Amino acid sequence: MQQLPHHYQVAAEGEPAGNVTVTANGLPALATDAPAEFGGPGDRWSPETLMMAAVADCFILSFRAVARASGFAWEALSCDVTGVLDKQDGVIRFTELVVRPSLTLPDGADGEKAQRLLEKAKKVCLISNSMTADTRLETDIREVA
């Protein structure tokens, strides 16, 4: 890892109607729009879906790092995230995140250690740590038969 602080720069461009284009150096452009809940078409990534995707992505990358540091073998990890957007104290914000990782382990793996590592990944996920929403972890651990 490079020395902190790290700096991440993105840009967005839009017109009175239609897509907003999000860009970052060296990455493909991404067309976004408001979600259906805010009157958008619902067929594009939105700031809300991008934020939930960032939580899921960061959780998997965090688990990968803690598992590697612990020498823990695993087969696959998927992660669903549900964010609850609500009005609180006069402000619309995410009030709750439910992170649902589903971890597949090789036969004979230590399920209790897997649970501890999933909980550690939740604690070190910098995206969810940067949000004020309460984060709940609902794990599913399976062994390969």
Place 52 in a pLDDT band, splitting at 50, 70 and 90. Answer: very high
3-class SS of residue 61:
helix
pTM of the model: 0.93
Strand 91-105, strand 140-143: pairing = parallel
The chain-wide mean pLDDT, for the chain, equals: 96
pLDDT over 80 at 127, yes or no: yes
pLDDT in tens, 59-113: 999 999 999 999 999 999 999 999 999 999 999 999 999 999 999 999 999 999 9
CATH topology of domain 47-143: GMP Synthetase; Chain A, domain 3 (3.30.300)
Residue 2, CA distances (Å) to 6, 10, 86, 103, 127 in order: 8, 19, 36, 29, 18
The pLDDT of 13-31, averaged and rounded, is: 96
Structural contact between residues 61 and 99, judged by C-beta atoms closer than 8 angstroms: no
- pLDDT band at residue 142 using 50, 70 and 90 as cut-offs: very high
Quick one: pLDDT at residue 144? 84
**Three-state secondary-structure class, residue 69:** helix
Mean pLDDT of all residues in 124-137: 95
